[in-house]
Amino acid sequence: MPTPDLDALRRYAVARTLFKPTTLQRAIRRLGFVQADPIRAPARAQDLTLRHRVIDYRAGDLERRYPRLDVEEDCLVNYGFLPREHLALMHPRQPRRVWDAKTRRRAAEILAFVRAQRGGVHPREVERQFAHGSVRNYWGGSSNATTQLLDGLHYRGLLRVARRDSGTRVYAAVEHPEVDDGPAGRAQRAASLIDLIVVTYAPLPAASLTYLVRLLGYGAPHLATPLQRALQQARDRLQNVRLDGVIWYWPADENPCSRRHAPDGCVRLLAPFDPVVWDRRRFTLLWDWTYRFEAYTPAAKRRFGYYALPMLWHDRVIGWANASVVDGRLQTTFGYVAGEPADADFRRALDEELQRMTVFLS
């Protein structure tokens, strides 16, 4: 295999995840994980990610089709959607925070109530049944105690999201298949989880690989020690190259120098959590500028905008767009790292992307 340079890694990073559009189920399986985010600007992050990879995808299709898919809402490096077979890698999940006796009793009552229902239970029904009031949440504010208990039961693998009702999670009881939870079983699951994040986000700088393994503590906190051992082994078996002092890793069976990675002429507006964009460290190394997600930045301090969508043309991220729907029409503003390209092909490709966005939002 030829030794890849940064240009090859850049083309590889784009081509391996922006594959030819396919079915929704196959796209999620090939991606491995799709991060979720509730902000709509102009659509949720999961929809903005999937629209480039699924044939004739429309905003909201994942929510509408979810009950019929072999897909789960759950936690990996953060919260999102993943093929059902990956859940066995993280369960039985043992949270770092242990419930006290009162909370365990309340959770058991809710679980029994959900198990007795058919077709899933809306949190509103659970609240009417138990009315546990409010509790302090992670951010110091007030949250519905019943909702927190449902979230906790879901995280512990006792409930699953059966569907969504106008965006609200509807829960059903679930039992995961038994797995080997001894040292050997945990070591095998830890290695498989690292393979999963490498497949999802490669090529990965060494620091990013370490960071992602640490984030796996969100989805699999009980595997923290096996994950560290598996990380050391992964560094030995993954393909890698050192460029300008940075070691890059990718799956052993992939070739970053393949001619199949030649870029196309499309313009794509990417979600802030798209696999091409997600790793900000890698983004800066590949495209030599720093993108920031500024939805939670005060307006006066924003450089890019509330929900800036990085703009990919060929294999370069050359700028960003902010998009919204006003009176039923798509409205966009643009920013460029080094000025707007004067190339007529760029303008044509951008117009085509905006037309695709309009159809997607319809």
Structure tokens at 100: 């006290």
The per-residue pLDDT for 141 is 52
112-149: per-residue pLDDT in tens? 999 998 889 999 999 989 876 555 555 455 457 888 99
Residue stretches of the chain with pLDDT short of 50: 139, 142
284-326: per-residue pLDDT in tens? 999 999 999 999 999 999 999 999 999 999 999 999 999 999 9
**Domain 101-173 architecture:** Orthogonal Bundle (1.10)
CB-CB neighbours of 328 under 10 Å:
7
Q: Report pTM.
A: 0.93
The per-residue pLDDT for 222 is 93
The residues, ordered by sequence, that sit 6+ positions from 215 with a Cβ below 8 Å of its Cβ are 77, 78
The per-residue pLDDT for 264 is 93
In degrees rounded to 5, what are phi and psi of residue 90? -115, -10
209 within 8 A of 231, measured Cβ to Cβ: yes
The residues, ordered by sequence, that sit 6+ positions from 217 with a Cβ below 8 Å of its Cβ are 223, 224, 227
Residue 323 carries which side chain, given as an amino acid letter? A
Question: Domain residues of the chain, as ranges?
Answer: 101-173, 263-361
259-277: per-residue pLDDT in tens? 889 999 999 999 999 999 9
